[in-house]
Amino acid sequence: MKNLFLSVVLLLTVSFAFANNEVEKVSIFNIEETLELTNSVELTTFDFTAENYSITKVVGTCYITLSFYGEDGEHLATHTLAFEGVANEQECSDLADRFAALL
């Protein structure tokens, strides 16, 4: 009887011990997975934003205004030109300088 009682106690202790370990393992696994998932979402969001920003710059339009004056300083005409595919303001400004040199 005494032996039976000891066996039952041992079985119960081992069972509880294994049961505790399993819960902990599941918990650790879940945290890592959540972290990975979070990182993945953040990365994707960042890439998407960067891509959008880049697209906006690449398809930019640069407007250059040309004003013509006669020999006596009288205004003759004003024309506005549109240059497509200009990356930034500096490029637009350089374009204006280069175009002025052609005139």
Interaction between residue 90 and another protein (CB under 8 A) = no
The interface region with another protein, picked from 27-35, 40-48, 52-60, 69-77 by CB under 8 A, is 69-77
Question: Is 40 near another protein (CB under 8 A)?
Answer: no
Q: How far is the CB of 57 from another protein (least distance, A)?
A: 17
CB of 33 within 8 A of CB of 47?
A: no
Stretch that binds another protein, among 2-10, 11-19, 37-45, 77-85 (CB under 8 A): 77-85
Q: 98 is written with which tokens? A: 């280069």
Query: In the chain, what is the greatest distance between 2 CA atoms, to the nearest angstrom?
Result: 125
Long-range contacts of 95-101 (CB under 8 A, 24+ apart): 95/62, 95/64, 96/62, 96/64, 99/64
Instruction: Provide the binding-site residues for another protein, judged by CB under 8 A.
Output: 62-85, 92-93, 96-97, 99-100, 102-103
